[in-house]
Each structure stands twice: as structure tokens, then as C-alpha cells.
Amino acid sequence: MTLPKQLEESTILTQRQLGDCVYLATFSAPEIAKLAKPGQFIQVRIQHGDVMLRRPFGVAAVDRDHQTITMIYRKIGHGTRILSEMLPGEEVNILGPLGHGFRTDVKHPLLIGGGVGLAPLLFYAAALKGKVDVIMGGRNEDEMFWVNLFRPYVKNVYVTTDDGSMGTKGFPTTILPQILEKEDYDSIAVCGPEIMMRGVAKIAKEHHVPCEVSLEKRMGCGLGACLSCAIDTTDGKRKKVCKDGPVFPAEEVFA
């Protein structure tokens, strides 16, 4: 099924640094703000001299009243470095919303994210305000600015850090089994490093809770045309992360 999408000339409204190499940027994008669903992504065209780069980003928030979309991204390469140096008032071209997002016809989901994988889950938490809990993982306390971003939307926030400087020392998978023992969830949505998503999917299966994962792949076109994001599913099919995903039922992509 092809979902509606728009190509918009957007203006950067705000750009601020949240943490080490992590930025939040808000854009005017009336049509995309109207259409976007949690888990979908956008392709941002970044012009640098003669070079034109397109980069995929998860949508972290939409404000339909003010017709804006927000993304939270890590500065990890050339394109994101250029983006992080752009100022309010500058223009970018955005294509979106793209792909298929998370199921939202659920009553009490548990969201699990690591690092900037928490960005699309923030949109999900806002859409299901008051019904969701979240487990967030990061390297240390400095990365846990996410707690304040999620707090308005969630009932319970659980934190793990690699170094134990905040919350439980370890990873989301360290505390997941005991959380699933004490509370009933009707779905789990996870986004972050693949090793974490695989671990979550395994524990979710053991506890009989449906789990969706949001995959990250290098993307070319973002539209299902170039095959650069193709993956093999567990039932032997070829699927495109940009078009068929980026969100998949865990059992479809992790054996």
C-alpha cells in the first residue's frame, strides 16, 4: 500500500543542541505535519556547494496546530554536520512522510529505545499520551535529556545506562524481564541498536507480547526504487526498509 507523501520547501524554525552531538531541529512543513504517523520518516535534502545530499530522519514530533515537524538527530557524518550548522530561517527540501510506522491501535504499549532511537518513540508517546511506559537506554547520565522530553506523555520511565551513572547499570534488556513480569503490556515498540532490538524481541517472544522493531538502513531513494535498503525476511522474502518498513513485526525480520 502506498501512503500519501509530500515534497515541501521547509524553513528551519529552531535548531538547538540537546547533548553531545545530538540536535533538535523544528521545521515548517504543513502537509507533512498533517500526514505523519509515529514511526514514519522524512528525507531531508541538504545542499552543500555543488553537492546535494538526502538523508533519512525519523519524525520525533509533529505540531498540527503550528504545522511543524521536529526531528532529533546525531551528528555522525558530512550531511548531519552541515545540517547541524544550519540556522533558523534557512530552507531545506523535505520529502515525507515515508514508510510504515508503528501500530497505534493498542491500549498499553511499552516503548524501548536506545540513543537517538528514542526519537521516533517520542512521537509515539505523544500520540498515545498517558497510555505508554518507556525504557530508555544510553551510555551515561549526560545522554538522559530524553527523560524530560518523554515525561509529559508517559506513566513510567525506566532508565538504564552503560556506566550506571543513572538508573540501572546495563541495558534495556537487563530490566525488561522483570518489568514484563509485573505489568501487562499489549505491545512493545523498539528502536535503537540492532543488538538491543534483537534482545528485546527475544524477551518479548518469551513473554508472548507482540513486538515491533524499527530498522535503520542506509537509504538511497527512500521510495522503494533503488533497492539499497533491501533485507531478507525470516520467511525468505525480500523487503525494502524504506517502503515496507522501517517498522516491522519483530518475527518478520529477526529469526
| Nearest CB to ligand FES, comparing residues 175 and 229 | 229
Which of 203, 242, 247, 250 binds ligand FES (CB under 6 A)? It is 242
Q: Which is nearer to ligand FES, 136 or 219 (CB)?
A: 219
Cβ nearer to ligand FES, comparing 19 with 220: 220
Give CA–CA dist 111/191, Å, rounded. 8
Count of residues touching ligand FES (by CB under 6 A): 12
Q: CA dihedral in degrees (15, 32, 242, 206; nearest 10)?
A: 80
Closest separation in Å from C-beta 220 to ligand FES: 4
Question: What are the distances in angstroms from CA 174 to CA 18, 80, 188?
Answer: 26, 32, 16
The correct pick among 115, 240, 253, 254 for binding ligand FES (CB under 6 A) is 240
Binding of ligand FES at residue 221 (CB under 6 A)? yes
C-alpha cell at 234: 525470516
Q: Note whether 227 binds ligand FES by CB under 6 A.
A: yes
Query: Of 229, 247, 250, 253, which one interacts with ligand FES (CB under 6 A)?
Result: 229
Cα–Cα nearest to 233, from 205, 213, 204: 213
Smallest CA-to-CA distance from 25 within 38, 3, 42, 39 is with 42
Does the protein bind ligand FES through residue 222 (CB under 6 A)?
Answer: yes
CB atoms within 10 A of CB 144: 21
**What SS3 state is found at 129?**
coil
Nearer to ligand FES (CB atom), residue 22 or residue 241: 241
Report if residue 21 touches ligand FES, rule: CB under 6 A. no
- Helix (H) or strand (E) run with residue 68 in it: strand 68-74
Q: Is 247 in the site for ligand FES (CB under 6 A)?
A: no
Q: Using the minimum distance from each CB to ligand FES, give the nearer residue, 37 or 243.
A: 243
Q: Which stretch binds ligand FES (CB under 6 A): 88-96, 98-106, 176-184, 213-221?
A: 213-221
Decide whether 97 or 222 has the Cβ nearer to ligand FES. Answer: 222
**Binding flag, residue 3, ligand FES (CB under 6 A):** no
| Cβ closest to ligand FES, residue 26 vs residue 239 | 239
Question: What is the crossing angle of helices 194-206 and 172-182, to 10°?
Answer: 20
Distances (CA, A) of 198 to 35, 162, 194, 207, 215: 30, 18, 6, 14, 11
What 3-state class would DSSP assign to 10?
strand
| 210 lies in the site for ligand FES, by CB under 6 A | no
- Residue from 163, 177, 225, 238 in contact with ligand FES (CB under 6 A): 225
CB of 139 to ligand FES, least distance (A): 29
* Residue 173 half-sphere exposure toward CB, CA atoms < 13 A: 16
Footprint of ligand FES (CB under 6 A): 219-222, 224-229, 240, 242
